[in-house]
Amino acid sequence: MEDEIEFFVRYSETDQMSFVYHGNYVKYFEMGRIAWLNKLGFSYKKMEEDGILLPVIDIKINFKKSALFDDKLILKTKLVREPSYMIEFEYKIIKNDDLITSGYTKLIFLNSKTNRPMRCPNSIIEAIKMV
């Protein structure tokens, strides 16, 4: 399943050279994951309230071209494989039909009470299978 969101680069996301500061791409990927879960019918906030945390344990970013203030970007977020204890996403950021950044994150399902890994909730797996 893939989800797509559009957004504009805000001035506060740029550095002194007017380029998007590299750390903001991690935030963009987070926006993509939250939108992906919402499209599937799940709220990140509700999951946390229910005792499910999703910390990032691996991240990769490949910068190809720059993004600047007020650029319109398209972020594509795609599930890599059916989740188990972990969930993995691939990202593509597009500007004017050009791929400018790609990335990957791996997150682990964590029980907030025990701080121990847990399996992906069946409700999420079933929702993925329905798409």
- pLDDT in tens for each of the 131 residues of the chain? 899 999 999 999 999 888 999 999 999 999 999 999 999 999 999 999 999 999 999 999 999 999 999 999 999 999 999 999 999 999 999 999 999 999 999 999 999 999 999 999 999 999 999 98
The domains of the chain, with CATH numbers, are: 2-130 (3.10.129.10)
Out of 3, 15, 97, 98, the active site residue is 15
Please report the pLDDT score of residue 1 as a whole number.
82
Residues ≥6 apart with Cβ < 8 Å to 4: 74, 75, 76, 77
Please report the pLDDT score of residue 17 as a whole number.
87
The 3-state DSSP class for residue 36 equals helix
Which uninterrupted H or E stretch holds 9?
none
Please report the pLDDT score of residue 128 as a whole number.
94
Please report the pLDDT score of residue 73 as a whole number.
98
Please report the pLDDT score of residue 94 as a whole number.
98
- CA distances, 116 to each of 12, 14, 83, 105 (Å): 36, 37, 16, 20
| Catalytic status, residue 15 | yes
